[in-house]
Amino acid sequence: MRNFLLSVFSVASCWMFVSVGLIGCSSKPEPESLGKAVNDAYKENDRLTDEIDRLKSQLAELKRSQAVQVEEKEQLRSKVDASARKIEEAERRARMATDRNTELLKQAESLAKENKQLAKEKEELTETLKSLVAPSEKKKPERTGPHSP
């Protein structure tokens, strides 16, 4: 952008020199036409200076806008990083919960097997108890009397 501004200024300066040179080469420079040419050159110079100032203002505004965009980009990057950390933490917790659920499922299966085994043993013990109680009832004499328990 700076090169552009310098080239605009250079063109304006060259135009002024060419105008003055052409006027100086005429056989009889007339004071009115020379004054008009100088006046026109000053007007063109002022116009170009205003244009340069306008372009400088635009450039400054673009730089401010760029700085704002850079700041917004950094804020968004920070938010994305925070979100990524939260996602990673949630994934870690999900893995831990899955591992814990798997462990609990194994424990539940083991307890179910153990419970089934205990139920089987209980039934066997109940059958054994019944078989032991039944013969002793046959051997007991029936007491019917005043002293019977």
Q: CA-to-CA distance for 51 and 36, rounded, in angstroms?
A: 22
pTM above 0.85, yes or no: no
pLDDT of residue 28: 54
Q: What is the pLDDT of residue 20?
A: 53
Taking the domains of the chain in order of start, what are their residue ranges?
2-129
What was the pLDDT predicted at 143? 57
With 0-12 / 13-18 / 19 or more C-beta atoms within 10 angstroms meaning exposed / middle / buried, residue 83 is: exposed
For 70-112, what is each residue's pLDDT tens digit? 999 999 999 999 999 999 999 999 999 999 999 999 999 999 9
- Report the distance separating Cα 57 and Cα 48, nearest Å: 14
Regions of the chain where pLDDT drops below 70: 1-30, 134-149
**pLDDT at res. 139:** 59
Identify the pLDDT of residue 45: 97
Alpha carbon separation from 107 to 116, 120, 149 (Å, rounded) = 14, 20, 50
Among residues 44, 43, 38, which one has the least CA distance to residue 21? 38
